[in-house]
Structure 1
Amino acid sequence: MKISTKGRYGLTIMIELAKRYGDGPVSLKSIAVTNGLSEHYLEQLVAPLRNAGLVRSIRGAYGGYLLGDKPSNITAGDIIRVLEGPISPVEGIEDEEPAKRELWIRIRDAVKEVLDNTTIEDLANHSDDGGNSDAYMFYI
């Protein structure tokens, strides 16, 4: 399974909303500018997220978008399924011979586990320190 720009940019929208959770509505324009993305494309992505209840829209001069739930209750899997469809590494798993079918199922389940156990709160709070904070530091 390859995640398209729909899934990647949809996650970007949701992470930005999570970062600003509790600060009021966020405009798509501000998300687009912050991330160097097309506002028009983000508008196309936010509609299915709104229909799924993952975001709410607020109209008016100070309107924009809010998360439909707390960031800790929305997973990456929720977002990817809305924008990309079912999570599956290959189509037609049921038609594969048993050994390959087992492999595809294990891959699918591993991906689902990661996506379903990663909240947008986790992603919004992730620090970009350039690497693993638990890594060893060596001095010469």
Structure 2
Amino acid sequence: MKLTTKGRYAVMAMADLARYGTGRPVALADIAERQEISLSYLEQLFAKLRRGDLVKSVRGPGGGYLLSRHADEIRISDVILAVDEPLKATRCEVGSPKGCMGNSSSRCITHDLWAELSHQIHLFLGSVSLGDVINGRVTASQGRPDQQAISNAAD
């Protein structure tokens, strides 16, 4: 499964807003500069984030964007879904009578594996908040005992 630029940039921008927007609006130009994201692309993303009720806009001098709720209340999955990013690893459409195998209605042999992976990704991203991200409460799997055992077994 590949998370596209749209989803990654939306999460990066929202994390930046959570970090630097402590009670005051943050200009998209500032986020664009810090995160090295095109301003016009951010404008498109923030229009979707505003429609998804994740941010509020403030007009005028000193204007910009604010989180609509506290960073600990905004889940990463909310951000990704607000910008229309699918969280799926299967190639078939949810609810479609078409299966994974082209024109037929049959599923590929690994369909359940990828469907479960999609579910696990959604659960994980739904368990992580912007607050977790900006406060360092999400760590890479390096150094975790379960990952060390897997790494040692591979050697």
Q: TM-score range by the shorter chain?
A: 0.7 to 0.9
Aligned counterpart, 1:64 = 64
Distance in 2 separating the partners of 1:132 and 1:102 = 28
Aligned counterpart, 1:113 = 123
Output the amino acid matched with 2:112. E
CA contact (8 A) 2:90 2:114 kept: yes
CA contact (8 A) 1:3 1:84 kept: no
SS of the aligned residue for 1:115 comes to helix
Distance in 1 separating the partners of 2:117 and 2:45 = 27
Matched, 1:37 2:47: no
* Structure 1 unaligned residues grouped into runs of 5+: 136-140
TM-score for both structures, normalised by structure 1: 0.83
Aligned counterpart, 1:80 = 80
Distance in 2 separating the partners of 1:63 and 1:21 = 11
- Structure 1 pair 62–122 and aligned structure 2 pair: CA distance change class (3 A): same
CA contact (8 A) 1:18 1:67 kept: yes
Which structure's relative contact order is higher, taking Cα pairs within 8 Å and 6+ residues apart?
1
TM-score for both structures, normalised by structure 2: 0.76
Moved over 2 A (4+): 20-23, 93-101, 129-135
Q: CA RMSD in A?
A: 2.7
**Identity of counterpart residues, as a percentage?**
32
Distance in 1 separating the partners of 2:92 and 2:140 = 39
